[in-house]
Amino acid sequence: MRIRIDGKAFFSRQDTHRALRNALGKDNYQGSNLDALHDCLTCIFTPTEIVIKNWSYAARYLGEYADMLWHVLDDSTAENPNITVVIE
């Protein structure tokens, strides 16, 4: 499966989690924080590629939170071999 997310939607922390929740599925993503995102990503059991385009917008809007998000994505992919994350 391939999931595409546009980083232009990452205006704030709340908007970021809303966009991620919509893309990943509301049933799988409970909460609006990085811990909830990690839990969701590590519970994906089928091969899934997550493509986040326009990452530069996310970095500009979120600042330091974008770095924290990057680390959660990286940690989650290291823990779960079923997911890959591509940043464009």
pLDDT tens sequence across 22-70: 998 867 777 889 999 999 999 999 999 999 999 999 999 999 999 999 9
Asked whether the beta carbons of 82 and 45 are under 8 A apart, the reply is yes
CATH of the domain at 76: 3.30.370.10
Cβ–Cβ < 8 Å for 37, 29 = yes
Sign for the pseudo-dihedral over CA of 22, 24, 27, 32? negative
Pick from 4, 5, 8: nearest CA to 59: 8
Q: How many domains does the structure of the chain reveal?
A: 1
* pTM across the whole model: 0.89
Supply the range of the domain harboring residue 62: 2-87
